[in-house]
A and B are shown apart, each in its own frame.
Chain A
Amino acid sequence: MIYTDPDGNFWNFVIGGVLGGISGWQIGKAQGAKGWGMFGYIAGGAAIGVVTAGLAEGVAGAFVSSNTVGASMGAYATAGAVAGSFSGAGFAALSGNTIGKGALIGGLIGGLGGAVSGYLQYNQIGVSMERSMANRSQWMACKDCAWTVNKPEVVVKRGMLDYGSPLYDALVAINDFNPLAIAVNSMYGYLYGRDTAGRPLSGMEATANLLSLAVPGGRGAGIAAKGVTQAEYTFTKTAAKHLTEVVKRGENAGQLARPYMNSPLTIQEIMSTSKGTLDATFKGGMNWRVPGTFRGSQGIWELGINPKTNVIYHFNFTHP
């Protein structure tokens, strides 16, 4: 029998084990452990990390259809609380502290972090699934777009609580300090070159983020490093001409013709719909064609970009 792991759950256990081992090493170091004693701390921490990952996975998985924001937050909060309690108790025991206190603090932190993760997951996955269902007939009718997945709608304007809104971005930023989210996001960074929110995340940044967990105060350094290497998009001279073009007449007179070119989030959303297709000529170029809306009009987002250099050579919204 061959076991497949299409969701990549295996990596959650690996990451949990590695992070737990690092925490165990930190505790062992603080306790002055050496040799086999240190090995015991590392092994104990790794075991706690693996079991914690399993608990989080198992409890979250029990809530299969979290199709409302409340259900999603509840599922992830419960998973976070259970895993956090176990983790807190385990590491408290390892470091000789009160187990009950460790479990309580771990549970609270895990539950809070889980609730935030649940909110983010719902907005990114749940809403796009709802949109996908709502637009299924349109998608199926669009033969040119049959290969696109997940996000049939790429919208420019958003409400306060919508995916991509300032509040949503703030919650994403808070989650940058959630160890579980850091681990999962790093895994996504290694595998897909972006985090679960669709933001570009290189392997180097992912490694820096993981290492920052093991160094006291290192998370701030990790965030700072990420800020320095945060992807900026640049345009070819030809494409850049459309950045400042203005509509002369009609309802949108005086407005930019392609305001979306100034929206990194729109670019990231388009890129998050699929892996894209390799361009035949532009070096390292990948192309996306994604159905969506712009100024209330249905059409196709067309994006051509080199994801390594973030150079955009084509970005347009067209009506077939």
Chain B
Amino acid sequence: MKFEIEYTGVSEDRLLVYRIEEYSFDMEPWIYELDFEIAINTITLAVVDKKIIQLNGFCGLNKKMKSNFEVPKSQKGILKVLDDLEPGIGSYSAGKEDLPIYVNTNTGWVCIGNPEKKGNAVEFVNSCVAVIDDDKGFVSLWLKPDRLPDI
């Protein structure tokens, strides 16, 4: 799956939350229409007109995931999906396998994917940063919800 970043200085205006009792990321407000979804582990990213506009999904966090990785520097913009994917037949996985999860309890950022691999970073939704490599491939997703559980 290929992605493209368009830096616009503006990102989707949503509030990213972590529902501790549900072990899941969620956001408000929520749009109930979409073309298709991209799946990263059990989190799904909704795509409308090629743009990723929101995300939510189950994502259990535990102390084994604790780390000190820092979120890469990013700019606000649009994260686009380049593939022509058929809508309405399910979600499309961004990776072939489940990606590792890292939690930095000091900064409040959660990383899903490879935290060390460099790439171009875009904040496509408030507090949601994606890193895309030079081959337009997905590297990592960084999320900073309003709060994190004690792990």
A236 — which chain B residues lie within 8 A by C-beta? 19, 22, 24, 58
B150 at the interface (CB under 8 A from A): no
B99 at the interface (CB under 8 A from A): no
In the complex, identify which listed stretch (A17-25, A83-91, A312-320) lies at the interface while the others stay far away: A312-320
Q: Are B34 and A248 in contact (CB under 8 A)?
A: yes
- Distance, CA A299 to CA B90, complexed state (A): 8
Q: How far is the CB of B14 from chain A (nearest CB, A)?
A: 13
Are A280 and B89 also in contact (CB < 8 A) when A238-B25, A238-B56 are?
no
B75 at the interface (CB under 8 A from A): no
A158 at the interface (CB under 8 A from B): no
Question: Beta-carbon contacts of A238-256 to B below 8 Å, as 1s and 0s?
Answer: 1101101111111111010
- Distance, CA A247 to CA B19, complexed state (A): 26
Chain B interface size range: 20 to 34
> Which residues of B24-75 are within 8 A (CB) of A?
24-26, 30, 32-37, 39, 42, 44, 46, 48, 56-58, 60-62
- Distance, CA A87 to CA B94, complexed state (A): 61
- Distance, CA A247 to CA B44, complexed state (A): 15
B88 — which chain A residues lie within 8 A by C-beta? 247, 250-253, 255, 257, 295
Smallest CB-CB separation from A295: which chain B residue?
A: B89
Are A241 and B90 also in contact (CB < 8 A) when A281-B23, A316-B42 are?
no
Q: Are B33 and A280 in contact (CB under 8 A)?
A: no
Question: Beta-carbon contacts of A272-299 to B below 8 Å, as 1s and 0s?
Answer: 0000000111100000000000111101
Q: List 14 A-B contacts (CB under 8 A).
A: A237-B19, A237-B22, A238-B19, A239-B22, A253-B88, A279-B60, A294-B90, A313-B22, A314-B42, A314-B58, A316-B91, A318-B39, A318-B92, A319-B90
B interface residue numbers (CB < 8 A to A) = 19, 22-26, 30, 32-37, 39, 42, 44, 46, 48, 56-58, 60-62, 86-93, 96-97
**What 10 additional pairs, Cβ within 8 angstroms, besides A247-B88, A281-B23, A320-B93?**
A237-B19, A241-B32, A241-B56, A250-B87, A250-B88, A251-B86, A251-B87, A295-B90, A302-B42, A318-B93
A interface residue numbers (CB < 8 A to B) = 144, 236-239, 241-242, 244-253, 255, 257, 279-282, 294-297, 299, 302, 304, 313-314, 316-320
